[in-house]
Amino acid sequence: MSLTVCPLASGSSGNAIYIGDEKNKILIDCGLSGKKTEELLRSRGTSCSELEGIIVTHEHSDHIRGAGILARRWKIPVFTRPGTWGSGSQVLDSVPSKQQKLLLSGLTFGKLELDYFHLSHDACEPVGLLIRWGKKQVALVTDLGETTPQLEKRIYGSDILIVEANHDPDMLATGPYPYFLKKRVKGPNGHLSNDDCGLLLSRVLNEKPVQVFLAHLSQENNDPQIARLTVENFLRSKGRDSGIEIEVASRYCASIPFKLL
């Protein structure tokens, strides 16, 4: 048996991550249209009918846009924090009430054991996620403006990491965003830069091999090659570049998946 981890799309245009083994399958966030989500899942050899749950990390539209349609069409339960249900009600109220589930403690889907931790972002109750699969661990850390020692301790030693590398600071400074938006992006409740991502990874990697998705790249303020090189160079400078496989999560199509055995 193997575990597949595959971002179906990553960025402000929409976010969704498929995680599953041969028996149990879940979706993290659903910020694409229902039709697009179904199409991308099929491209990875699975179907919405096989999903046992959608876990929503926070209420921004690029994370919840398609949750209602998938929940109604396929009778999939949607799990999120109480504050997210409230703040995202304009979209999330389209989820049938019997399928609206509170994310209050850990969830279990077969071998998949899911837990959450709070993040610093301009949403009501944003969370990062840990998915344990036997002795293996997957960590999702996107949409946050800063990290903490507590967060680093939670995700330390993960086998697969999906970590935000949202922007290049120079590109953000000289780019088209208005001042208030630039301030928001680089603030403590905004998004991690490429440098922030490299620093976080240098603190949470141990000596074992690890697979890393760089996620939620800004279309205007970043570039996949710049993000990858910045993170790789930072890890190399810290002597933490051995045994690391890095991929940039695609914005509009499913990424090449990582697998755990």
Averaged pLDDT score across all residues of the chain: 97
pLDDT at 145: 98
- Asked whether residue 87 carries a pLDDT value surpassing 90, the answer given is yes
Q: For the segment 35-78, what is each residue's pLDDT rounded down to a tens digit?
A: 999 999 999 999 999 999 999 999 999 999 999 999 999 999 99
pLDDT score recorded for residue 241: 87
pLDDT at 245: 97
* Percent with pLDDT over 70 in the chain: 100
Q: What is the mean pLDDT of residues 126-133?
A: 98
What's the pLDDT at 225? 98
Q: Is the pTM of this model over 0.85?
A: yes
Output the six-digit token pair for 257. 């998946």
**Interatomic CA distance for residues 51 and 230, integer angstroms:** 36
Is the pLDDT score of 96 beyond 90? yes
Looking at domain 3-260, its CATH architecture is: 4-Layer Sandwich (3.60)
* pLDDT over 90 at 234, yes or no: yes
Long-range contacts of 16-22 (CB under 8 A, 24+ apart): 16/40, 16/66, 17/140, 17/162, 18/44, 18/46, 18/254, 18/257, 19/112, 19/131, 19/138, 20/46, 20/50, 20/112, 21/110, 21/111, 21/112, 21/133
The model's confidence at residue 101, banded by pLDDT at 50, 70 and 90, is very high
User: How many angstroms separate the CA atoms of 161 and 140, rounded?
Assistant: 6
Q: What's the pLDDT at 25?
A: 98
DSSP per position, 98-119: GGEEE--S-EEETTEEEEEEE-
Q: What is the pLDDT of residues 169-194, one digit of tens each?
A: 999 999 999 999 999 999 999 999 99
Alpha carbon 40 to chain centroid, angstroms? 16
Instruction: State yes or no: pLDDT of 98 exceeds 90.
Output: yes
Residue 244 clears pLDDT 90, i.e. is over it: yes
How much is the CA Rg of the chain, to the nearest whole Å? Answer: 17
